[in-house]
C-alpha cells in the first residue's frame, strides 16, 4: 500500500508553533477560529490556507481555536472522529488523539462536540477573529456563540464584542516567506519551467489550445506537483487579449501568437508564469515590436526590485517603459505626463504589474500601508507581469490598428532578498530569440 503523505507537507513543527506564538501574543484577550470546510461536491479537497499556515492541518472538517490561556489551552483542535464506514468511502481520518499529537494541540476533540464546546471556548473573549461569508454550520455556531456570550456577559461587562477578519492578524505574517516556504516555491517554479519547456515543443499550426493545457496540467502532476495553481490560460490569436480567458477551445493559426499563463502547485505553494510565443516559430515585425516593449518593461521592473522600494514603484517602472514604447511606435501620441495623467495607456496596459504570491496565487497582504504604497522587504514574493493588448481599434490611435489582435504578457516570480532579488522562474527563457528556438521542438 502506498504510504499516506505527510499532512504537514514536511514542514518543521517548530515553524507552526512559532507562528502560533506570534498570533497568540497579538490576540490581546481575543480568540481566533479557523476551519477547513468539507467539500460537499466530493471534489478534491483544498485545505484552508490560514489554518494550514498556523497549524499544518490539511484534513477536511477541522476547526482550530486559538486563545491565550483559554479553556483547554492556547490551541484547541476539533477533527472528524474515526468512522470505518465513512473512511471506506473518503479515506483514512486521523481522529482527535492522533491529530492532537501530530499538530501540537493542547487539547483535541471530535468535531461531533464542537457545538457544545465552542461557546465555552469563546466565552469572555474580547473579540473573535473569524472569516464571515461561508454560510457554513460553523459560521452559525460562531455567530450564535457571540450572541449567547453577549447576553450572558452584558451584566459583567465582558465580551466578545464583535467579529474581526483573521487577515488583520495573519496577512502581514504570510507576506514574509520562511526559508522552508521558499524551498516549496522554488520547487513549484522548477516544475512549472519544465512543464512549459515540454509544452512549447508541442506548439504548431492546428494544435488545439486545450492540447497545450493538457500537456501543462499533466506535466504539473507527473513532475511531482499537486496540479495547476489556477485554471490554465492558453489564448491564441485575439484570445490572448482576453486577460482571464479560460475556454481554451480554439485551434492555433500559423500567424498567431499564443499567450500561456499557468503555474504548478507544490506542497500548497504556487507558481505563476506567462510566456507569449509565435505558433510559426518566428515573430512577425509587428509582433516583435510589441514583444520587445513588454520584455523591456519586464526586465526593468525586475531590476528595480530590492528591499526599501515600494511595490507601486515597480508598477510605475513597467508602466513608463510601456508608455515610452507605445509613444515611439505611434500608438500613443502627445506628452508622456499627459498620457499618465489621463491614463490613456490603460487601453493597452489595463492591469497592475505585480501581485503577491505564496499559498495563494493572488496571495494575501495589502499593497498599501498607512496610506502609502507598501515597501518591499526581504522574504516577500511577487510576480512581475507587464502586458500589452490590442483587442480592437482605439479611438484617436490609427497606429494601434497595425497591432489589432496582438496580446503579449511576460510573467515571472520574484523573491525579495537581502541583496536585491531572486527570479524563481529564471530558468525559462524570455528573450525573443530563445522563445522562437523552443517553439515546436526546434531548441
Instruction: Give start-end residues of each CATH 3.90.230.10 domain in the chain.
Output: 176-441
* pLDDT of amino acid 3: 44
Does CATH place domain 13-173 in 3.40.350.10?
yes
Residues of the chain with CATH 3.40.350.10: 13-173
Query: For residue 24, what pLDDT is reported?
Result: 97
pLDDT at residue 269, rounded to an integer: 98
176-441 under CATH 3.40.50.1260, yes or no: no
Length of the chain: 443
Q: Residue 271 has what pLDDT?
A: 98
The whole-number pLDDT of residue 398 equals 63
pTM: 0.94
Note the pLDDT of residue 1. Answer: 29
pLDDT averages per 10-residue partition of the chain, 443 residues:
68 97 95 82 79 96 94 95 94 95 97 92 90 83 78 61 92 97 98 98 97 98 96 98 96 97 97 98 97 98 98 98 96 94 96 98 95 97 98 70 94 98 98 95 60
pLDDT digits (tens, 9 = 90+) for 85-100: 999 998 999 999 999 9
Amino acid at each position: 500500500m502506498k504510504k499516506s503523505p505527510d499532512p504537514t507537507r514536511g514542514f518543521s513543527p517548530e515553524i507552526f508553533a512559532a507562528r502560533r506564538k506570534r498570533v497568540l501574543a497579538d490576540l490581546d484577550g481575543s480568540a481566533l477560529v479557523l476551519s477547513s470546510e468539507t467539500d460537499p461536491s466530493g471534489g478534491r479537497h483544498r485545505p484552508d490556507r490560514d489554518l494550514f499556515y498556523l497549524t499544518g492541518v490539511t484534513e477536511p472538517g477541522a476547526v482550530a481555536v486559538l486563545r491565550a490561556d483559554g479553556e483547554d489551552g492556547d490551541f484547541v483542535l476539533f477533527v472528524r472522529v474515526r468512522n470505518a464506514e465513512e473512511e471506506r468511502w473518503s479515506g483514512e481520518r486521523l481522529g482527535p488523539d492522533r491529530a492532537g499529537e501530530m499538530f501540537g494541540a493542547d487539547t483535541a476533540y471530535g468535531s461531533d462536540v464542537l457545538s457544545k464546546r465552542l461557546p465555552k471556548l469563546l466565552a469572555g473573549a474580547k473579540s473573535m477573529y473569524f472569516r464571515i461569508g461561508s454560510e457554513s454550520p460553523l459560521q452559525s455556531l460562531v455567530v450564535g456563540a457571540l450572541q449567547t456570550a453577549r447576553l450572558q456577559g452584558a451584566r459583567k461587562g465582558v465580551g466578545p464584542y464583535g467579529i474581526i477578519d483573521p487577515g488583520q492578524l495573519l496577512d502581514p505574517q504570510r507576506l514574509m516567506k520562511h526559508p522552508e516556504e521558499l524551498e516549496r516555491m522554488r520547487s513549484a517554479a522548477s516544475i512549472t519551467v519544465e512543464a512549459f519547456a515540454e509544452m512549447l515543443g508541442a506548439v504548431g499550426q492546428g494544435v488545439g489550445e486545450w492540447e497545450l493545457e493538457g500537456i501543462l496540467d499533466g506535466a504539473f502532476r507527473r513532475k511531482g506537483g499537486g496540479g495547476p495553481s489556477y485554471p490554465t490560460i492558453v489564448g491564441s490569436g485575439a484570445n490572448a487579449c482576453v486577460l482571464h480567458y479560460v475556454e481554451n477551445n480554439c485551434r492555433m493559426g500559423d500567424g498567431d501568437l499564443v499567450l500561456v499563463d499557468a503555474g504548478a502547485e507544490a506542497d500548497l505553494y504556487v507558481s505563476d508564469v506567462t510566456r507569449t510565443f509565435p505558433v510559426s516559430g518566428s515573430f512577425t515585425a509587428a509582433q516583435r515590436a510589441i514583444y520587445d516593449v513588454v520584455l523591456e518593461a519586464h526586465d526593468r521592473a525586475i531590476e528595480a526590485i530590492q528591499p526599501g522600494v515600494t511595490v507601486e514603484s515597480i508598477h510605475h517602472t513597467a508602466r513608463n517603459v510601456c508608455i515610452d514604447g507605445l509613444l515611439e511606435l505611434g500608438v500613443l501620441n502627445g506628452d508622456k505626463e499627459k498620457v499618465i495623467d489621463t491614463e490613456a495607456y490603460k487601453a493597452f496596459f489595463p492591469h497592475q504589474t505585480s501581485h503577491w504570491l505564496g499559498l495563494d496565487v493572488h496571495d494575501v497582504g495589502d499593497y498599501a500601508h498607512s496610506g502609502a504604497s507598501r515597501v518591499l522587504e526581504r522574504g516577500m514574493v511577487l510576480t512581475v507581469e507587464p502586458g500589452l493588448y490590442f483587442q480592437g481599434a482605439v479611438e484617436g490611435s490609427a497606429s494601434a490598428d497595425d497591432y489589432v489582435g496582438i496580446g503579449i504578457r511576460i510573467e515571472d516570480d520574484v523573491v525579495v532578498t537581502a541583496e536585491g532579488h531572486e527570479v524563481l522562474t529564471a530558468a525559462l527563457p524570455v528573450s525573443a530569440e530563445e522563445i522562437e528556438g523552443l517553439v515546436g521542438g526546434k531548441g
